[in-house]
Amino acid sequence: MLHQYFVTAIGTDSGKTFVSAILTEALQATYWKPIQSGLPRDTEKVQSLVSKNLSFLPEKYLLTQPLSPHAAAAIDGVQIAINAVEIPTNTGNLIVEGAGGVLVPLNQQHFVIDLAAKLQLPVIVVANLYLGSINHTLLTIKELQRREEQGLIKIKGLVFNGNINSASEEIILHHSPYPCLFRVNQEDAINFDTVKQYAEVVRKVLNQ
């Protein structure tokens, strides 16, 4: 069974890279961050967290400033074109990490979620748990649901990131048509061993 997913989130610093590393390790997948704004590169972070034998695709757009891609691209004199982003053939299992949240602009017309639609990859949404995250998560879900109803994208499910908050998780799932795939805790240290422990559980979940 081929597993290829686009990892997005309810906002910046939601834990996309950590979750992407877990998915990459669990599926022994190729990792790809097609649009990177600023340094350090998320590709380098994931490389440090997963098995050394795994493959990585180079960024299509490597921007110098840690800003929204449309703003970073303008500074660098680059125009981001989502039609220029193509998955190489025979890639196998693949984890594609987006930039920021679903409605982060890539240019004057397109958002991050449009890249997932263009690549035709099922979407995994990382929702970190903080005061206000219910609102941000449900707004994200509503936008994804609207696009799914239009036949533009497919949603695989949610990943909750942070210490368990039953009240928040329950109300989000009550209003969400998408399941929680797995949870990650607020870890004191994120390293290969941490990723490996989660990956063993996630591998079973995704292969059910």
Cα end-to-end distance, the chain, whole Å: 11
Please state, rounded to an integer, the average pLDDT across all residues of the chain. Answer: 96
Backbone angles phi, psi at 119, to 5 degrees: -80, -10
Amino acid, res. 148: E
The share of the chain scoring above pLDDT 90, in percent, equals: 96
Residue recorded with tokens 């590393």 = 21
Q: What distance in Å separates the CA atoms of residue 184 and residue 159, rounded to the nearest whole number? A: 8
Give the predicted TM-score (pTM) of the model. Answer: 0.97
Element at 159 (helix H, strand E): strand 155-161
pLDDT recorded at residue 208: 76
Q: Which pLDDT tens digit goes with each residue over 183-208?
A: 999 998 999 999 999 999 999 999 87
Q: What sign does the CA torsion over 139, 143, 156, 56 have?
A: negative
DSSP secondary structure string, 70-120?
HHHHHHHT----GGG--PPTT--SEEEE-SSSTT-BSSSS-BHHHHHHHHT
Element at 125 (helix H, strand E): strand 123-128
Residue ranges making up the domain that contains 169: 4-206
Q: Which of 16, 33, 118, 156 is catalytic?
A: 33
Query: Dihedral, CA atoms, 98, 9, 205, 24, nearest 10 degrees?
Result: 30
Q: Could you tell me the CATH number of the domain that includes residue 143?
A: 3.40.50.300
Q: Tell me, yes or no, if 16 is annotated catalytic.
A: no
| Overall number of domains in the chain | 1
